[in-house]
Structure 1
C-alpha cells in the first residue's frame, strides 16, 4: 500500500525495477548450462581448448546492477593459448600470433600470421548454431561478441571470446579483427567493495538511477558510464547510518548533473575517458538531471517538512514516471 513515500519506493523497487528473483535464478542456471555446452566443444579440431579457470562472468547482470527486464547476459569465454599463441602490442591494438591449427581452420587475417578476432567470433557462431536449446546465433552489432538467442526465454547471451595473458589481463575482440585489452574483474571487485562499504545498499540505488536514465527524458547515458560516475561519488563518501533511498537518489541526481559535465576516467586504467558526449549533449543531460533533482527536492520537502505524503508521492511520480505507485491512503 503506497501510503508513505517509503512504502511507495519499496513497492516500486520490488515490482518495477529490481529483477524478479525466480527469473534471476533461471537465468543464472541457463548461463551455467551454456558454459557447460561450450566446454563440450573444447579440443574439437575446428575449435579451441577452453581455459575453464579463466571464464569470466561480467556485465550488469553479474554485478547486480541490471534492471528489469533481463534482456542480455554477458560472458567472457576464455580460450587457451596452448603454449603456442603469443601477442604483440602496437599502441592500443593487440595482435595475436596464431597457431598452425588456427591457420588450418582459416582463422588468420588474410596474408598474415595474426589470429583474426572476427573470424574467431564467427567460428563461435558456427559452433553455437548446432546447440539445440538456442534459436539463433549471430554477430553482435559491435562485432566484439557472438549473440545467442534462447528458444525458451526472453534473454540473450553476449559471448565474448578472449585470451588471458601471462601479464594478468584479458584480450578481447576490438571490432576490427584485432584484439584489445580489458579486465572486468576490476569492475566486479570495485563495485563489490563499495557496495559493502555502504552496507549492501548501493546496488539498489544504481538500479534506480538506471531506471530513470532509461525513461528517455534526455539523451541516455551509457550504463557503464553511469555506474562509474555513481561509484566515484560513493567511493569517497562515508557510509550513512541512516539510508533512505529516496533521499540518496535526490542527492545523486544533483551530483550526476555536475559529474556528467566532466571527463570520467576508466577505473581499469585502460580506456581513458569514458565520457564521449560532446559539450552540448553533456549540458542537455545535466539540465535534465537538474530538473529531476529540483522535483526530488520538492518531493522530499513535502514529505519531511509539510508531512504531505500524498503530495510527495505524486511529485516523485513526476520524476520516475507513471509506473511509480499512486497514493492509496484516504
Structure 2
C-alpha cells in the first residue's frame, strides 16, 4: 500500500492540468487574443495577456475560469476627457465577442469581466487600462477604475515557491481542491495571498507538513474584506478551523503508525481525487470490472458511474458467482 506522502503526490498529480489541456488552453487563448486585437473589433485593445491561477500555475482540473487582461487605449473611449464608464466598455466587449461565430451565444457579463463559456473551460476577459504605467480594472460596482498589480503578486508567489523547494504552488492547488470539494467561497486569489504570508515565515519538509501549515495558520491571515460578506468570511474561517483539527488528527494517527487511517482522514477532506482505496472499495471496483461496468475519466479516476467504460475482466477477487 502507498504511504501518505505518496498518496499526496498522486493527489497533486490528479488535480494538475495535463500537457494536453495546456495545449488546448494556449490554442483557445491565441484565438481569443487575435479576435480581441483585430482593428475591426473597434475595441482599441493594445495588449492582451494571461493572468490568474493559470498563468501562476496554481489552476486545478477540471478547468474553471482562466483570466485574461485586455488593455484598452483609454483615449479612444474617453468622454469629454473623462475615463470611460466601465459598464459601457464591458457591454462593447460582450456585444463584439457575441457577434463572432466562435463565441456566438457563449458570452455573458460576470462583473467586472466578460466571460466566454467554452465546452471545457471559461475565459474571463477583464478590460483594463493604463495610467502612468499602472494597471486599472473596473471596480465591483462598475462605477470607476481601481488599481491592480497582478505582476507583483505573481512575482511574490514565484519567489516563495522557489524559496520553499518549489512546493508552495502544490500546496495552493491542494487548498483550492478543498475549496471546490467543500464548496467554500474563499477567493482563489486569497488562498495564494495567505500562502505567500504563511510560507514567508514557516518552512516545511514535505507536502503533508506544508498543507497542514497552511490550514494551521490561515485563520490569522484571512481578510474579511476579500469576501462578499462578513457572514461568508466567518463561515470559511470556521471551516478552515475544522480542517486544521482533522489534519492534526491525521498527523497523530501517522505518529501512531496508523497510516491507512490517516489517509482516510485526508480523503475525507480533499475528496474523490485523493487516492485511497480501502478493501470494500477495492472489492466494488473488482466486481464492476468483472461485470464490465467499471469506468474511468481523467477528472474522477476509477468510478462505477462516471467516465468511459472499461473492458470486462476478472478482477482481483476472481470470478463473481
CA 1:246–1:126 in structure 2 vs 1: closer, same or farther (change >3 Å)? same
Q: Does 1:186 align with 2:152?
A: yes
Please show how residues 11-22 of structure 1 align to structure 2 within 5 Å: 11-15=10-14, 17-22=15-20
Q: Does 1:32 align with 2:27?
A: no
CA distance in 1, matches of 2:8, 2:78: 54
Please show how residues 234-273 of structure 1 align to structure 2 within 5 Å: 234-238=199-203, 240=204, 242=205, 244-260=206-222, 263=223, 273=225
Residue deviations 1:294-318 (CA, integer Å, cap 9, x gap)? 2212222322x22222222122222
Structure 2 residue runs of 5 or longer lacking an equivalent are 283-321
Partner of 2:292: none
Paired residues, number:
279
Give the C-alpha shift of residue 322 in structure 1. 4.4
Residue deviations 1:81-102 (CA, integer Å, cap 9, x gap)? 4xx46xxxxxxxxxx7437xxx
The TM-score normalised by the length of structure 2 is 0.77
Give the C-alpha shift of residue 232 in structure 1. 0.8
Higher relative helix content: 2
CA distance in 2, matches of 1:69, 1:7: 22
Partner of 1:267: none
CA distance in 2, matches of 1:189, 1:204: 16
CA distance in 2, matches of 1:137, 1:78: 22
Q: Does 1:225 align with 2:194?
A: no
CA distance in 2, matches of 1:327, 1:70: 25
CA distance in 1, matches of 2:167, 2:5: 15
Of 46, 50, 59 in structure 2, the residue corresponding to residue 51 of structure 1 is: 46
Q: Is the 8 A contact 1:12 1:325 kept in 2?
A: yes
Please show how residues 60-209 of structure 1 align to structure 2 within 5 Å: 60-81=53-74, 84=75, 97-98=78-79, 114-142=83-111, 144-150=112-118, 153-166=119-132, 168-174=133-139, 175-209=141-175
Q: Which has the higher contact order (CA 8 A, sep 6+)?
A: 1
Q: Is the 8 A contact 2:136 2:145 kept in 1?
A: yes
CA 1:237–1:247 in structure 2 vs 1: closer, same or farther (change >3 Å)? closer
SS in 2 for 1:74: strand
The TM-score normalised by the length of structure 1 is 0.75
CA 1:8–1:294 in structure 2 vs 1: closer, same or farther (change >3 Å)? same
Root-mean-square deviation (CA, aligned residues, Å) is 2.7
CA distance in 2, matches of 1:293, 1:139: 38
Structure 1 residue runs of 5 or longer lacking an equivalent are 86-95, 100-111, 265-272
Partner of 1:274: 226
CA distance in 1, matches of 2:24, 2:126: 21
Give the C-alpha shift of residue 78 in structure 1. 1.0
CA distance in 2, matches of 1:23, 1:248: 27
Of 255, 266, 274 in structure 2, the residue corresponding to residue 324 of structure 1 is: 274
CA distance in 2, matches of 1:235, 1:131: 46
Partner of 1:6: 5
Partner of 1:299: 250
Partner of 1:106: none
CA distance in 1, matches of 2:237, 2:126: 33
